């Protein structure tokens, strides 16, 4: 298949689901992927004791522009809190020989293919070096000690590196797994960001790092595991634009990864699509026509609706720790205020200014299909960029057909809001190269995480949906041939008591 994949867009369409043409797949539970890595550690440190959290309001946290107090240094007590909130284990269950762990983020198929590593430059009580975050054992494993390399920014404290393990997702999703690695990591990035913000720490997402250098620092075998995003935090705010290479010289012994004997099927297309994005972003320009996802002939009533900016105090930490995917939606009307909070949460993630990735982000188009929401006509809407308004594209009830498009997951038809993540993949790639695809998928995951948390805080249900008959999805919303709907997030009222 690889000889036909020249672009991220080729990858996307070649991994489409087609009705009645999905190859049957046996889920081999004898080789269930392990969501945590194990090391023969040269040094292991239990998570530092966390101090009591200051109560934070989720909506305030969402709306804080920028983050943290410049100059504030990263302290060990913040670290455990940040890690628990970002990717902590909230429940463990065993079925037969397999343990399943719930986390503060959702993950396609519950497979949790992402890992967090730390590049510690400066943190009191910690050696400079590279660490793996073992979220099950609540400990940090020193992979290797390091020292500052010449010219490194010594005022930067910590970088979190998020990676994805191919097999963990491919076990279920096969060639389509790269999509899920990216969406999953986006959910995790946003959780990490919010946790850092709650701690008052500066942070910046970096999607343009040097993959080879970061992989070498983390001792990653790129056939199996790849870096997807870096989040820099603490110290001075890092200026965007410079390609991040890790900035550490490693020396001395190295912790060895302990690998379980397990049959891992490899899918060469996953390495191939990853390799395509490695050279970094192309420096393109954004032509408004190439961003458009709709067919030119798109008709229908055009109206602008302002959704209210609503103040709804929601306990941030409670929302994070109680978040689960809920699908038991009911069709009763959702009140306008709650719908507005959800839409505001989704539309309020503004890209950081000043980098190529910010311009590439323009290609992520957010829509929503509303049904049974007080004060809104049922229909398919797009969010107008930079404003709190919706632009109705088509009047009507889309949730029944959407549930069929989403591999006949009937429960989707009962949700009040189905958020729609779309992009003109050809336009994106022409301007920014295949790295742009990585970016918009992760940014979609970030927005989706905000919707999950806001829904949880409001006592509503929410569930991400990555399973789509891709071409049917394109047809349902009259997308042009260059554009794809690649993620849906359903939200709305559920059975039982509401907040």
CB nearer to ligand FMN: give 160 or 329. Answer: 329
The answer to whether 444 and 183 have CB atoms below 8 angstroms apart is yes
Place of tokens 């920028």: 66
Binding segment for ligand FMN (CB under 6 A), chosen from 155-163, 180-188, 238-246, 306-314, is: 180-188
Q: How far is CA 338 from the centre of its chain?
A: 23
Residues contacting ligand FMN: total by CB under 6 A: 19
**In whole angstroms, how close is the CB of 442 to ligand FMN at the nearest point?**
11
Contact call for residue 187 and ligand FMN (CB under 6 A): yes
Binding segment for ligand FMN (CB under 6 A), chosen from 117-125, 338-346, 433-441, 462-470, is: 462-470
**In whole angstroms, how close is the CB of 468 to ligand FMN at the nearest point?**
8
CB nearer to ligand FMN: give 366 or 390. Answer: 366
Contact call for residue 465 and ligand FMN (CB under 6 A): yes
Binder of ligand FMN out of 166, 167, 180, 307 (CB under 6 A): 180
Name which of residues 295 to 324 contact ligand FMN (CB under 6 A).
324
Contact call for residue 427 and ligand FMN (CB under 6 A): no
CB nearer to ligand FMN: give 88 or 464. Answer: 464
The answer to whether 75 and 49 have CB atoms below 8 angstroms apart is no
Binder of ligand FMN out of 10, 134, 157, 184 (CB under 6 A): 184
The answer to whether 200 and 68 have CB atoms below 8 angstroms apart is yes
Name which of residues 29 to 68 contact ligand FMN (CB under 6 A).
none
Contact call for residue 99 and ligand FMN (CB under 6 A): no
**Alpha carbon separation from 67 to 16, 195, 340, 356 (Å, rounded):** 38, 11, 24, 20
Name which of residues 368 to 387 contact ligand FMN (CB under 6 A).
none
Contact call for residue 466 and ligand FMN (CB under 6 A): yes
Q: Which residues bind to ligand FMN, rule: CB under 6 A?
A: 102, 106-110, 180, 183-184, 187, 324-325, 327, 409, 463-467
């Amino acid at each position: 298949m690889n000889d036909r994949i020249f672009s991220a867009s080729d990858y996307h369409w070649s991994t489409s689901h087609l009705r009645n043409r999905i190859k049957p797949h046996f889920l081999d539970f004898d080789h269930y992927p392990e969501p945590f890595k194990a090391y023969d550690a040269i040094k292991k440190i239990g998570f530092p004791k966390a101090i009591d959290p200051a109560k934070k309001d989720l909506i305030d946290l969402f709306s804080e522009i920028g983050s943290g107090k410049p100059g504030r240094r990263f302290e060990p007590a913040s670290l455990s809190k940040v890690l628990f909130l970002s990717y902590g284990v909230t429940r463990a269950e065993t079925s037969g020989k397999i343990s399943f762990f719930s986390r503060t983020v959702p993950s396609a198929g519950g497979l949790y293919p992402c890992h967090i590593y730390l590049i510690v430059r400066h943190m009191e009580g910690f050696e400079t070096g590279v660490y793996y975050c073992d979220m099950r054992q609540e400990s940090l494993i020193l992979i290797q000690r390091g020292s500052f390399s010449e010219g490194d920014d010594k005022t930067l404290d910590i970088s979190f590196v998020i990676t994805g393990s191919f097999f963990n997702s491919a076990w279920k999703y096969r060639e389509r797994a790269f999509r899920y690695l990216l969406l999953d990591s986006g959910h995790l990035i946003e959780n990490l960001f919010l946790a850092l913000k709650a701690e008052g720490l500066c942070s910046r997402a970096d999607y343009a790092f040097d993959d080879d250098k970061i992989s070498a620092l983390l001792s990653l075998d790129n056939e199996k595991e790849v870096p997807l995003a870096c989040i820099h935090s603490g110290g001075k705010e890092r200026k965007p634009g410079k390609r991040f290479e890790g900035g550490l010289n490693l020396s001395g012994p190295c912790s060895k990864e302990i690998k379980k004997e397990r049959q891992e099927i490899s899918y060469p297309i996953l390495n191939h699509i990853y390799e395509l994005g490695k050279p970094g972003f192309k420096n393109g320009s954004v032509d408004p026509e190439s961003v458009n996802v709709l067919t030119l002939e798109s008709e229908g009533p055009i109206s602008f609706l302002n959704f209210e900016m609503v103040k709804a105090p929601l306990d941030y930490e409670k929302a994070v720790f109680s978040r689960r995917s809920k699908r038991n939606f009911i069709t009763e009307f959702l009140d306008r205020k709650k719908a507005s909070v959800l839409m505001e949460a989704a539309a309020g993630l503004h890209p950081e200014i000043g980098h190529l990735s910010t311009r590439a982000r323009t290609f992520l188009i957010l829509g929503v299909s509303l049904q049974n929401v007080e004060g809104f006509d049922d229909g398919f809407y797009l969010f107008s960029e930079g404003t709190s308004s919706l632009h109705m594209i088509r009047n009507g009830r889309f949730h029944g057909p959407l549930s069929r498009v989403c591999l006949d997951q009937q429960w989707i038809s009962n949700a009040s809001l189905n958020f729609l993540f779309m992009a003109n993949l050809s336009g994106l790639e022409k301007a920014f190269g295949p790295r742009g695809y990585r970016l918009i998928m992760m940014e979609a995951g970030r927005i989706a995480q905000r919707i999950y948390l806001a829904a949880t805080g409001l006592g509503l249900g929410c569930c991400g949906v990555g399973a789509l008959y891709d071409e049917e999805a394109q047809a349902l919303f009259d997308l042009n041939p260059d554009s794809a709907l690649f993620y849906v997030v359903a939200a709305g009222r559920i059975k039982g008591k509401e907040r």
